[in-house]
Structure 1
Amino acid sequence: MALGTCLTDLHARGAISDARFEQLRPVYEDLVRQYEGRYGRAAAESMATEKALQWAEGEAMERKRQVLLQANKQGEWLADVRRQSGDGPLSRRVAEDKIVDMDNHRRAIRQQALGMMDGLLAKHRRNLAGRVRAPEELADTLAEVFGRDTGNLNARELADAWRQTSEWLRSRFNAAGGRIAKLDSWNLPQTHDMWAIRDGGFDAWRDFLLHGGPEGHGLLDRSRMVDRDTGELFTDAKLETVLRDTWEAIATDGWSRNNPGAVGKGAMANRRADPRFLHFDGPEAWTAYAQRFGGGGTPFDAMLSHVEGMSRDIAAMERMGPNPSATLLWQKDWLKKSTEQKLLPGKAGKRASDEASAGMDTMQKLFDEYTGANNRPVRRRLALGFSIFRAQQVAAKLGGATLAIGGDYGTMFHTSRFNKIPATKVMARYVSMLNPANAADRAQAARHVLMADQWAEGHAAMWRTTGEEIAHEGMRRLSSGVLRVSGLSAHTDIARQAFGMELVSHLTHMRERSFDNLDNGFRRMLQRYGIGETHWERLRGMQPESYKGTDWLYPETVANAGEQDLADNLMRMIVTEADYAVPVPDLRTRAAINSGMRKGTWIGEIVRSGFLFKGFPLTMLNMHGRRMLDEGGGGIGGLAAAAAWRFGMPLLAMTTVGGALSVQAKEVAKGRDPMPMNTLKFWGAALAQGGGLGIVGDFLYSMQDRFGGGIARSLAGPGAQTLDNTVGSLVRNTTAALDDDPETKTQWKKDAARLLLSETPGISLWYARLVLERSFGDMVTQWAYGDDVEAHYRRLDQSAEDRGTQYFAPPGGGLGDMRAPDWSNTLGQQSATAEPAPY
């Protein structure tokens, strides 16, 4: 009997449950409509019955697989946390670290995927203006992706690399519990501009897809669009229904598919189940949609976005199962349950209960930072406005941030020594890779060890300094461009790559030793990332690659040998230890900055602005500080203090030496002789500058911060200075005009000059700053101060003298009065030729 003749009866008699009835009916009815015109009603019902039952069986099997994977991952988590927690309740610290480590796992997956398409990134990465390079060849690559022969061999190779990368991600996603069908006809994901789609309306969006091509032809290739429910091509009616559902999902930012009051948003494994049914007819159709409804995105942007999103989902599913949100709730409940079941008495019980509750809250914040929920604004326009403001601050005030990298040399040296990696070789490799002639070495490092963030628009340098990603596209490019032009981005990328390459080199060299004969620090590093004796023996048996006559055992080499899990652990080790060597905020630091106050609220945006430029000191305290406590076992006894001392003091010494370099470099960039290095004031500033104490160092030798404000203004962030320079000056000058005060009538000029010389993007670039100040700056200062300019210059000269130095390029002297810096002043021996400016 056909299902259509008995479905209602079976449901009425209880042979089919309510849920199964509702599940089968729409699939069955769609199939009957598709078959009836070709085969007649009876045959259509019979064929639809068979297909619907097969579909239901497949859905049931997939759900069982996901349930088993979910239970397996939860069991692994509980067993591991119990083992690390000992006899007490589940450790809050271990539970939190698991989520932080998941983010490092995401980055390891992302790096391996980007490494597969390194040629495409190198060819088409954005330039200083934020534009994709070689757009003509990118168009050929897009055509090759769609299967069109352009005759461009390089474009064909890049297209093949993209196909390999996307298939690797799809297979890995499915292995973790996902269900993305393999479609040979799938080419490239499409980005969607929610506001353009919402403002255009469904009819305009649908008509553009169906009739927006040349001569009214549609942009879609209907012959390749398959209905996932039926396995058949879409009928016109079903396509209309699915297009409307898709439009509503995009226009409502996914809310059309959410049930109010439901817990979570369903399994992550199912969110990509729709086999990307919008199949564009060719590269021209894809590009036309991107320009009209895709936000003007390029194929390069679409590829990177796909890698980012898939890497995030894969890492979460591999660590937390097909439904990570459900697993998080389960983990938080276990953390609380394990504490309360211990029935600890009195104050100890209250402390443990509070600690578990705090852990649950932190785990949620870390997970929200991982998924991006922390960065979803309450008010989009407000968040965008503050983002533009912070980008302007970066562009205006971080042009000299490269001079503050001295502390990086200390952390690179210390992290290398801590892990028993030859520190001098790390520094030598860094210097070598800075050489413009060694582009091949940088490309090798980018592919195999750490992909340059500036290639993939990851903005490690931006995160280091600002503590956030800039949202506005134009301002993001401006601020990112300043960091690139200043050299900070290049330093960050090359320093991390140099550390990663030397780590791999040392690992390859150490394969001559057994696991027990490895240096203790190096062996401990391997064990932190799950690489034990058995894994080490596997590594020893692998054939390394050769580059310039040297053997290299890259993670890619390990993966090609069939050891993907081991390759993941190696890459996770590289990206995480590189974060310690060249401090970049980890998930915990980013969550601390972003989760405290909601984005898109007045209070939240003001607090975020207050954290601007404090990403580096927070990273130092949160990462190296926690590692120091770990070395002490987290205790407070004598042995713990001694262990922490052994870790902390060398770090403090090395970063202080690096900080000394930065302090002197900043003095010279400002046109002053180096400071004498035989004073406590100097070494206090060097300690803070290199040790990550940031704003504290400004007050060790001056009650004004690096942007001209006091302690309160520094704590409020550089935006406080801008607010004072604009609003404050407006109020002051308005009051002076109303009071007819002759002494303050010219104050507006000084305020205008201060704004111009401190808020103009790019004006703080360290290598151009002195020339700009002695030319443009002197001209503006002369206009602002008039007859009082010499008194102003004397005050500047006195301020330099108070720090034990003098100007070698005195303010007001122009470019003609400059002399060479007096380096002998570093020993407190001012040269006789270093005369003060004659004011």
Structure 2
Amino acid sequence: MSIANCLTKLVAAKQITQKQADDALALHEGLQGRLYPTMGPTSAEAASALEAARVMAQAAQERKLMAAKQAIAYASAIDRMEKHPSGKTVGLQSMLVRDNLEGGAAMGTAIHIDGHSENVTKRLLGMMDGAMKPYASRLAGLRQDTESIWNVVRELFGEDTGDDAARSAAEGWKKTTEYAVARVKCAGKPLSVLEDWRLPQNWDSSRVKQFSEQQFVHDLMTEFEAGNLKVMDKQGQGEAPRAAVGGIIANAYKDITLGKANSGAGGFSNQLRVFRFQNPDAYIRLMQKYGIGDGGLYNTMMGHLGGMGREIATVEILGPNYEDNFRRLLDVAREDDAVRNKAIGAKLKRSLTMNSPAAVQRTYDAVTGKLGVAQSELIAGIGGGLRNLQTAARLGSATIAALPGDSFTASLAANHNGIPATAVLGRLVRDLANDKEAEAIARQVNLTAASIMDHALGSRRFADEVVGQGFTGRVADTTMRLTGINAWTEGLKRAWAMEFNGFIARQADRTFGDLDPAFGGFLKRYGFTPRQWDKLRATPQIEADGAKFFDVNGVEDQELADRLMSAILDERRFAVIEPDARIRGAMSAGLQRGTFMGEIARSATQFKSFPMTFMMTHMMRAAIQDGAWGKIAAGTKLVGLMTIAGAVTSQMQSLVAGRDPQDMSTPEFWTQAFIRGGGGGMLGDLVYSSSTRGGDGLKEYILGPAPGTIISATGDLSQALIGDGKMTGKMLAQHIKAWTPGSSLWFSKIATDRLLFDQIQAMIDPNYRQSFARYEQRMKKDFGQAFWWRPGDVAPDRGPRLP
């Protein structure tokens, strides 16, 4: 009896469904086609039938596991939502991102996808043990090994290149990806993993569009004819018939150019790969021409690990079919919200805290990466390019604000958890001087640097998203690295988390009731019980650099270890402020990248995520403290420290702009310091310090820097051409400066201003001396400041007068 007849009878007897029968028959026919060349028809029929039965049985077991894990995840999520003291909507939001109302103790857990993604990704990077580091860019992004990294591909295909670094990277990659696959399958996600899977395929639509469909088909057919490439038939689950190969390749061209080729699966995919490379040379040739290019392999591999980390975290928290579970959970949250928040005051509170059902949807789309998938590469490229240029032009002095601001927020976060702030800053200084040793220790305890892709992640704190891979993205990347903000940000994040880790190790000999009160508050805040603390403190510790550290990898209970790491990362977000998925979703208005309105929203909100994040962290924590005195005490400490940070920032910015420091004895100075030190004013002055005070600040703040600058330049040009005004040298210099990368670099800003932009104004504006004089008079009148390097002068005539 043929397998087709057998399957028909099983369907008639209702032992299997028609869908299962169709899948089995397709699998059988595909396998038979692959086995036929080496077997006779009868042997191939029997062998493929047995293999199809085995695969279908395995798939049935995986479906059972998936169903069980899906039901468990849904029940657990409902339980968390019902237990949250602020309602089901906040409970659901707390599974996506840090709970800014801190109700984790009531739920018994506080783990969420945003933090867990970083935790799992750090574990994957730690397993790589720095093997890919030789291929990361160096010298502020100006230099990168884009040649020998291809030896990693050859090693993964089994070639012995004699390159020890490439062999180590290939071994680390294989070990790490195998662990990631096993972990996500354990969480219930069914995967059909190829035994010879090696690397992700990243077909770049912009590259492919440079060539005709005929050229693309010709190149891939050439590789196919040479035996370098197999083309698979998704329907038949096997190799495509020779006659169908050309059509499949042509369809692939259409999918890639329409942006459908790399848009759905995150770090894992159940889809059968259409193209399977048989040797490294074919992969390298086609990826260099149609995919990642000469220098994109490192970014692709690291980005793939990041995608795996995010997918694992999402599956472990919301279940294998997380889209379905989230949709059902959001329906439950909406029903509860409609009953709980009828009053205007309640609706206002949920909106201000970003815990409405709409905010939950935006957060979900951000944390799962949906908002980052470009609907139109052209529109996304234009919008992203403009924002990249603004990042490169305006954030050159970001470090000036970050140094004092981060020092105080890190101290606040440390003291809140019982960690000596001086220990954090001391470790930062030591680690910056010996970065290699610090990174080696951090990898052992899953605290390796968070730079998943080789971009200016440090700029994400201010620019709202990671800069892109195009030319403008590389310009912004290099500029931000030159400022030192990346090294500072990653160093402080690592130092803070390492000291927290060491503090846990020092507390391990104490029972729950005898813990440092602040640290005990941390455990209670995140829902850890005395029994769970006993499990954690029994973990063997790591000794390194003359100190002991808690070894999260040594915890027997994986879920408990993940919860602890997620909690540590949550507290670190108070130390080094950067936007989470809640803020990223809000800043994009929940609109997808590459849409007209999505790019408008991102441009309008550029540079606004920092103050919003400050509000959702430190200001929110102060507001939710118990009792009026608790709120006043926390608020007073916050305002006091951040006002001092604002004062330091103000004086440092004056110096790099060529002005003497301000008189600190005046009420006006401390009012300004208060505004700059808060979430609303710090970044504003940081951004506008690269131009003049009091210019088009309000307009640019509302429209966003790129649209505001374009509209301002257009208005000035129109007025000069058809109106009564004229394009003065000052106006032209300011417009050029607003788009010049590196024009606000803190260490060269004053020289750039005086030797370049002031000279442009002097060449065009016949009244430049009066303009410079008016500017000096305004600074003297408004802020009591004189210039140590006067506008228009090619050299300073004195040094700064320090107060």
What TM bracket, shorter-length normalisation?
Answer: 0.7 to 0.9
Q: 1:620-640: per-residue Cα shift (whole Å, max 9, x none)?
A: 0122233223324xxxxxx2x
Match of 1:58 in 2: 58
8 Å Cα contact 2:268-2:308 kept in structure 1: no
**Alignment partner of 1:190 is 2:201:** yes
Q: 1:478 aligns with which of 475, 482, 486?
A: 475
Q: 1:321 aligns with which of 311, 319, 322?
A: 319
User: 1:693 aligns to what SS in structure 2?
Assistant: coil
Which letter does structure 2 place at the counterpart of 1:574? I
CA distance in 2, matches of 1:726, 1:711: 15
> What are the within-5 Å matches in structure 2 for residues 96-245 of structure 1?
96-100=93-97, 101-128=112-139, 130=141, 133-181=144-192, 183-197=194-208, 205=216, 207-209=218-220, 211-212=222-223, 217-220=226-229, 236=242
8 Å Cα contact 2:267-2:306 kept in structure 1: no
Match of 1:286 in 2: 283
Query: By how many angstroms is 1:139 displaced?
Result: 3.2
CA distance in 1, matches of 2:760, 2:237: 72
Structure 1 pair 690/6, CA: closer, same or farther in 2 (3 Å)? Answer: same
8 Å Cα contact 1:695-1:705 kept in structure 2: no
Query: By how many angstroms is 1:313 displaced?
Result: 0.9
Match of 1:552 in 2: 549
Which letter does structure 2 place at the counterpart of 1:750? K
> What are the within-5 Å matches in structure 2 for residues 683-762 of structure 1?
683-694=670-681, 706=693, 708-719=695-706, 721-736=708-723, 744=725, 747-762=727-742
8 Å Cα contact 2:337-2:357 kept in structure 1: no
CA distance in 1, matches of 2:181, 2:276: 17
Query: By how many angstroms is 1:212 displaced?
Result: 3.0
CA distance in 1, matches of 2:43, 2:134: 56
Q: 1:517 aligns with which of 495, 514, 517?
A: 514
Query: By how many angstroms is 1:579 displaced?
Result: 1.5
8 Å Cα contact 2:203-2:262 kept in structure 1: no
Query: By how many angstroms is 1:106 displaced?
Result: 0.5
CA distance in 1, matches of 2:151, 2:40: 47
8 Å Cα contact 2:393-2:737 kept in structure 1: no
Q: 1:693-752: per-residue Cα shift (whole Å, max 9, x none)?
A: 2279769x99x975732434433332355224421121111025xx6xxxx55x343332
8 Å Cα contact 1:749-1:783 kept in structure 2: yes
CA distance in 2, matches of 1:477, 1:172: 34
Structure 1 pair 9/252, CA: closer, same or farther in 2 (3 Å)? Answer: farther
CA distance in 2, matches of 1:238, 1:773: 63
8 Å Cα contact 2:92-2:360 kept in structure 1: yes
Query: By how many angstroms is 1:316 displaced?
Result: 0.6
Match of 1:402 in 2: 399
8 Å Cα contact 1:729-1:748 kept in structure 2: no
CA distance in 2, matches of 1:140, 1:573: 39
Match of 1:74 in 2: 74
CA distance in 2, matches of 1:154, 1:345: 59
CA distance in 1, matches of 2:618, 2:666: 28
Structure 1 pair 387/504, CA: closer, same or farther in 2 (3 Å)? Answer: same
Query: By how many angstroms is 1:54 displaced?
Result: 3.4
Query: By how many angstroms is 1:546 displaced?
Result: 1.9
Match of 1:466 in 2: 463
CA distance in 1, matches of 2:549, 2:775: 59
8 Å Cα contact 2:417-2:519 kept in structure 1: yes
**Alignment partner of 1:617 is 2:628:** no
Query: By how many angstroms is 1:774 displaced?
Result: 2.9
Q: 2:642 aligns with which of 633, 655, 664?
A: 655
Q: 1:503 aligns with which of 476, 500, 503?
A: 500
Which letter does structure 2 place at the counterpart of 1:390? R
8 Å Cα contact 2:729-2:761 kept in structure 1: no
CA distance in 2, matches of 1:806, 1:463: 35
Structure 1 pair 205/12, CA: closer, same or farther in 2 (3 Å)? Answer: farther
Which letter does structure 1 place at the counterpart of 2:22? E
Q: 2:802 aligns with which of 812, 820, 823?
A: 823
**Alignment partner of 1:578 is 2:572:** yes
Q: TM-score, normalised by structure 2?
A: 0.88
User: 1:767 aligns to what SS in structure 2?
Assistant: coil
Q: 1:772-824: per-residue Cα shift (whole Å, max 9, x none)?
A: 2232334223223324514532432332343022111122333151x121112
CA distance in 2, matches of 1:269, 1:494: 28
CA distance in 1, matches of 2:678, 2:736: 32
Comparing 401-410 with 330-339, which one deviates more in the overlay?
Answer: 330-339
> What are the within-5 Å matches in structure 2 for residues 237-386 of structure 1?
250=256, 252-254=258-260, 272-274=269-271, 276=273, 278-296=275-293, 298-338=296-336, 359-386=356-383
Q: 1:454-477: per-residue Cα shift (whole Å, max 9, x none)?
A: 573353322211212333521111
8 Å Cα contact 2:140-2:482 kept in structure 1: no
Structure 1 pair 113/18, CA: closer, same or farther in 2 (3 Å)? Answer: closer
Structure 1 pair 408/332, CA: closer, same or farther in 2 (3 Å)? Answer: same
User: 1:127 aligns to what SS in structure 2?
Assistant: coil
CA distance in 2, matches of 1:495, 1:660: 21
Which letter does structure 1 place at the counterpart of 2:325? T
Q: 1:626 aligns with which of 587, 610, 620?
A: 620
8 Å Cα contact 1:684-1:697 kept in structure 2: no
Match of 2:656 in 1: 669
Match of 2:102 in 1: none
Structure 1 pair 513/185, CA: closer, same or farther in 2 (3 Å)? Answer: same
User: 2:418 aligns to what SS in structure 1?
Assistant: coil
Query: By how many angstroms is 1:40 displaced?
Result: 5.5
Structure 1: which 5+ runs fail to align? 258-264, 633-638, 825-839
Structure 1 pair 201/16, CA: closer, same or farther in 2 (3 Å)? Answer: farther
Query: By how many angstroms is 1:399 displaced?
Result: 0.9
User: 2:506 aligns to what SS in structure 1?
Assistant: helix
Match of 2:105 in 1: none
Query: By how many angstroms is 1:231 displaced?
Result: 9.1
8 Å Cα contact 1:55-1:229 kept in structure 2: no
Structure 1 pair 376/36, CA: closer, same or farther in 2 (3 Å)? Answer: closer
User: 2:536 aligns to what SS in structure 1?
Assistant: helix
Q: 1:22-42: per-residue Cα shift (whole Å, max 9, x none)?
A: 333323444455566766555
Number of residue-to-residue matches in the alignment: 784
- Percent identical: 27
Query: By how many angstroms is 1:328 displaced?
Result: 0.5
Q: 1:422 aligns with which of 416, 420, 423?
A: 420
Q: 1:810 aligns with which of 770, 790, 798?
A: 790
Which letter does structure 2 place at the counterpart of 1:282? N
CA distance in 1, matches of 2:132, 2:769: 52
**Aligned-pair Cα RMSD in Å:** 3.7
8 Å Cα contact 2:365-2:590 kept in structure 1: no
Which letter does structure 1 place at the counterpart of 2:432? L
User: 1:673 aligns to what SS in structure 2?
Assistant: coil
Which letter does structure 1 place at the counterpart of 2:173? W
Which letter does structure 2 place at the counterpart of 1:152? D
Match of 1:390 in 2: 387
Query: By how many angstroms is 1:248 displaced?
Result: 6.3
Query: By how many angstroms is 1:47 displaced?
Result: 4.5
Query: By how many angstroms is 1:277 displaced?
Result: 6.9
User: 2:791 aligns to what SS in structure 1?
Assistant: coil
Comparing 760-769 with 535-544, which one deviates more in the overlay?
Answer: 535-544
Q: 2:491 aligns with which of 475, 494, 503?
A: 494
Q: TM-score, normalised by structure 1?
A: 0.84
Structure 1 pair 76/658, CA: closer, same or farther in 2 (3 Å)? Answer: same
Query: By how many angstroms is 1:188 displaced?
Result: 1.9
Q: 1:628-662: per-residue Cα shift (whole Å, max 9, x none)?
A: 23324xxxxxx2x3322232221221111111111
8 Å Cα contact 2:417-2:518 kept in structure 1: yes
CA distance in 2, matches of 1:120, 1:345: 52
8 Å Cα contact 1:4-1:49 kept in structure 2: no
8 Å Cα contact 1:4-1:45 kept in structure 2: no
Which letter does structure 2 place at the counterpart of 1:64? K
